[in-house]
């Protein structure tokens, strides 16, 4: 269970550190929903009351294009993919392109199946039938900030996963021998590791800088975050694949940590529209600057 923070006390940069460490360990903790829920508490009494519920456990569904959902008589029906930490949750926060909805999770109205081929059982496909709506909002500014923060935190988690893959590859290269010497002595392996180190350092700094800009509420914060998540979506999967090349066959064995880390990274950077949505956000921010 994660406590819903006060809006003014919500540090994106500190949350980024938490998500990065979760990525390194291939963990999905039920904190994303609680953090995002805190952004909406100022929008109305029902949101404020919801954040004060004892034993609140919030699952999260964040998607820019949810077309299968229907709101009828204060109830939500439809299907959602990539719902995070639904098992054990008593509420579900759904962020769609034009609104945020919180529904009460009960076994009678919410069913789920595990999304196969991904990092853990914490990502599920959910089917809702007349799930009771506890709160609903359509504030565009708050929704934009919520989507921006969600993309940034997922990118931080993906970056942590790939950083751990890089460390494992370096350890393997130092120990694995071919032709009488460690493979780390071969220039081709050195080039792959050096390129990965350079990109990871740059991506980490971009994400950290964007998180600091969000905390400071700078005018360029959304643009910085979109640029950072776009770069992360482009480069992190490529780095992960290169680390598999360094590791060789053992890096594809399910008993090794590498496959879980790679699935964690790729699933995180391609959620919420992936790099394409981040690039679209960059264009929106540039258009706004031109209009001003």
Tokens for 17? 């550190």
How far is residue 26's CA from residue 161's CA, in Å, rounded to a whole number?
A: 7
- The domains of the chain are located at 7-141, 143-291
Q: Which residue has the tokens 């010497």?
A: 181
Per-residue model confidence (pLDDT) at position 268: 93
State in words which class domain 143-291 has: mainly alpha
What is the structure's pLDDT at 64?
Answer: 63
What pTM value is reported for the model? 0.92
Q: Give the mean pLDDT of the chain.
A: 89
pLDDT at 53: 82
Q: How much is the pLDDT for 137?
A: 87
The pLDDT-based confidence of 123 (bands split at 50, 70, 90) is confident
Closest to 12 in 3D by CA, of 201, 205, 209:
209
Highest averaged pLDDT of the listed ranges 37-41, 224-228, 270-274? 224-228
> What's the CA dihedral at 280, 152, 40, 56 to 10 degrees?
140
pLDDT at 278: 92
pLDDT tens profile 14-73: 999 999 999 999 888 889 998 998 888 888 888 888 888 888 899 999 876 566 788 888
Helices (H) and strands (E) in the chain, counts: 8, 9
Query: What are the angstrom distances between the C-alpha of 81 and each of 23, 131, 234?
Result: 20, 16, 22
Please, what's the largest Cα pairwise distance for the chain? 72
Position 99 scores a pLDDT of 86
Q: Looking at the predicted structure, is the pLDDT value of residue 118 above 80?
A: no
pLDDT (average), residues 229-242: 96
Do the beta carbons of residue 83 and residue 126 sit within 8 Å? yes
| C-beta pairs of 24-28 under 8 Å, 24+ apart in sequence | 24/160, 24/161, 24/163, 24/164, 25/164, 26/119, 26/120, 26/161, 26/257, 26/260, 26/261, 26/264, 27/120, 28/84, 28/85, 28/119, 28/120, 28/122, 28/123
CATH entry, 7-141, from 3.30.360, 3.30.450, 2.40.110, 2.60.40: 2.40.110
Beta-bridge partners for 78:
128
**Is the model's pLDDT at 7 over the cut of 80?**
no
Residue 74: the pLDDT is 87
Query: Which candidate, 43, 64, 108, 112, places its Cα nearest to that of 84?
Result: 112
């Amino acid at each position: 269970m994660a406590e819903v923070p006060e809006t003014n006390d919500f540090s994106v940069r500190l949350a980024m550190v938490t998500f990065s460490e979760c990525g390194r360990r291939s963990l999905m903790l039920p904190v994303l929903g609680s953090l995002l829920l805190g952004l909406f508490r100022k929008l109305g009494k029902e949101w404020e009351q919801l954040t004060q519920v004892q034993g609140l456990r919030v699952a999260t569904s964040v998607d820019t294009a949810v077309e299968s959902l229907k709101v009828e008589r204060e109830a939500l029906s439809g299907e959602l993919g990539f719902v995070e930490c639904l098992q054990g949750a008593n509420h579900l926060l759904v962020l769609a392109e034009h609104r945020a909805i919180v529904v009460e999770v009960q076994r009678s109205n919410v069913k789920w199946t595990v999304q196969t081929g991904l990092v853990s059982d914490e990502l599920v496909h959910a089917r809702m039938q007349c799930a009771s709506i506890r709160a609903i909002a359509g504030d565009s500014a708050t929704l934009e900030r919520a989507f921006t923060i969600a993309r940034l935190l997922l990118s931080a988690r993906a970056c942590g996963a790939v950083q751990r893959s890089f460390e494992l590859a370096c350890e393997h290269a130092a120990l694995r021998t071919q032709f009488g010497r460690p493979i780390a002595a071969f220039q081709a392996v050195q080039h792959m590791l050096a390129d990965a180190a350079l990109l990871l350092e740059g991506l980490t700094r971009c994400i950290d800088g964007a998180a600091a800009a969000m905390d400071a509420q700078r005018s360029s914060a959304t643009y910085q975050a979109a640029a950072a998540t776009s770069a992360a979506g482009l480069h992190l999967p490529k780095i992960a694949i290169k680390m598999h090349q360094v590791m060789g066959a053992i890096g594809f064995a399910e008993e090794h940590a590498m496959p879980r880390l790679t699935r964690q990274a790729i699933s995180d950077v391609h959620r919420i529209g992936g790099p394409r949505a981040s690039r679209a956000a960059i264009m929106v921010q540039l258009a706004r600057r031109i209009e001003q």
